[in-house]
Amino acid sequence: MKNKIIITLLIIVTLLFSSTSIVANPGGNGDDSRDFTCGGSCHGDPSLSVESDGIISIDVKEFIYSGTTTEIVVNIEQVSTSKDRIVGIFLLGSINGNNDQPSDYGWEIIQDDNGGTSNYIEKRASLNGSVYASWIIRSPTNSGTYNLFASIQHGIEPNPRSLAALGVSERHEIEILPIPENYPSLSESWIIPDNREREGDGAITVLTVNTDKIEVDWRLVGESNNNVAEIQELGIGEWRVFLPKTIGDAKIEFQITTFNGNFSVEQPWMEIGTESERFEGSAIGARLQALSYAIIIFGFVISIQNWLVTIDFSDYFSKVKRKGNSGQKNESQRMIVHEKYPGWLWDSVEEKWVPEIVESENRSDD
């Protein structure tokens, strides 16, 4: 019995902590900062992938001032995916295989299309095989010519070898120019918050340089009508912007326009939401909790089995038998015959006289 219990527990632990051994990753890897080959785990090795049929293009300005923010859009068309239609999209500074994230070449990702700061994000393609992703980035502080690449990885069907499809864009060259004197822009130390706190007025603090005024337009994601946000100046280059809080997964797009005298610069559109209810947990915690429940259920089943095996039901059945026999005996003693009243019987239970003929018929029916 002990050996069976140990073997069963080992099987449960193995099932809970085991992972699939296929090459591809159905359901995606999740957003993160990754090199082109992800250390060999993201199908950059030709032996781990097949060529994607997606058409990739990069949309960005041909020149950018150093240390300023701009938007980079990656468009993917005519891509064939698996049924979940998830496409992983890279923004890269090179395709060397390592040290090729944009940050390795002086770029700083302020916000990705999913609201984080990752160079690899996952989006769901439309039914016609198109998907796009955008990044708000700050250009390198040193002037010169820089390269950017986009890469995608996704599932395919049919896929008997469980390989991912991999595609890489052409090199896109961007000229970084020295920033003009007194150019109004966002401060390099300003980081857009992912979400506002659920409590409070929903305002965010914006930091700028060479700016004497800002204007902020906002709209719900997916809408086209712009609204003007209320702004409070806190000090030189520090502004308080009041944006309405959202509910659930809804987000707000907002665009900051910085002014220096009559000269203005429209910054890229950025997104912000409101933080949801916090839930603290981890995968290992969930697995350990599942294991504990499995052990509790397993122990309960073993306890019931041991109880059923060890209990002696012989006394119970003998008591039931004796009770049945005594019931029959009591039934036969229920009717009392009196010599003074021939033809009648006294029912000691109902306490009444009954004809002996009826009782005889009842006994004959039995």
Quick: pLDDT tens for 196-219: 777 778 899 999 999 999 999 999
Six token digits for residue 311: 């209990």
Q: What is the pLDDT of residue 206?
A: 95
| 139 in the same domain as 61 | yes
Tokens of 140: 């390198």
Q: Are 107 and 60 in contact (CB under 8 A)?
A: no
Q: Which of 179-183, 304-308, 315-319, 353-357 has the lowest mean pLDDT?
A: 315-319
**Average of per-residue pLDDT across 176-183:** 93
162 shares its domain with 190 = no
Q: Which residues contact 134 (CB under 8 A, 6 or more apart)?
A: 71, 72, 73, 74, 112, 113
Residues 273 and 215 in one domain: yes
Q: For the CA atoms of the chain, what is the radius of gyration?
A: 39
Number of domains into which the chain is organized? 3
Residue 225 included in any domain: yes
Strand runs labelled E in 86-162: 86-92, 108-111, 120-124, 131-138, 144-154
Assess whether 41 and 160 both reside in one domain.
yes
- Name the pLDDT band for 346 (thresholds 50, 70, 90): confident
Cβ-count burial 12-27 (b if 16+ within 10 Å, e if not):
beeeeeeeeeebbbee
Q: Are residues 155 and 28 in the same domain?
A: yes
Q: Are residues 115 and 43 in the same domain?
A: yes
Query: Sheet harboring 352-355: ordered strands across?
Result: 335-337, 344-347, 352-355
Q: Could you tell me if residue 43 is inside a domain?
A: yes
Q: Is residue 268 in a domain?
A: yes
Q: How far apart are CA 344 and CA 297, in angstroms?
A: 64
Whether 167 and 152 share a structural domain: yes
The pLDDT value given to residue 186 = 94
Only one residue has tokens 């401060």, namely 187
DSSP letters spanning 223-234: ----EEPEEEEE
Q: Looking at the structure, do residues 200 and 157 belong to the same domain, yes or no?
A: no
Last residue of a domain, one of 229, 253, 278: 278
**Which of helix, strand or coil describes residue 40?**
helix
Please report where in the chains the tokens 């005024």 appear, as a residue. 213
| Candidate from 47-51, 76-80, 116-120, 329-333 with smallest mean pLDDT | 329-333
- Judge if 187 and 174 occupy the same domain: no
- Please say which residue of 179, 212, 230 terminates a domain: 179
Q: For residue 103, what is the DSSP state?
A: G
DSSP state of 105: G
d(CA 101, CA 362) in angstroms, rounded, equals 99
Mean predicted confidence (pLDDT) in 80-98: 89
pLDDT at 285 over 50: yes
Residues in the chain: 366
Residue where a domain terminates, one of 162, 179, 196: 179
Tell me the CATH number at 155: 2.60.40.680
Domain for residue 296, yes or no? no
Is 194 found in the same domain as 74? no
CATH number at 201 reads: 2.60.40.10
Give the residue from 36, 45, 73, 48 showing the smallest Cα distance to 58.
73
Share the mean pLDDT of the chain.
Answer: 81
CA dihedral 180, 184, 185, 186 (to 10 degrees): 140
* C-alpha 288, offset from chain centre: 19
Instruction: Place 122 in a pLDDT band, splitting at 50, 70 and 90.
Output: very high
298 is a domain residue: no
Residue 290 forms part of a structural domain: no
What does the pLDDT read at residue 350?
78
- Residue 7 scores a pLDDT above 80: no
Residue 52: exposure state from Cβ atoms within 10 A (0-12, 13-18, ≥19): buried
The answer as to whether 292 is a domain residue is no
Instruction: Report strand pairing: 55-59 vs 69-77.
Output: antiparallel
Q: Give the structural domain span for 349.
A: 312-365
In a domain, residue 82? The reply is yes
Bigger pLDDT: 306 or 181? Answer: 181
Same domain, yes or no: 33 and 173: yes
Residues 45, 174 share a domain: yes
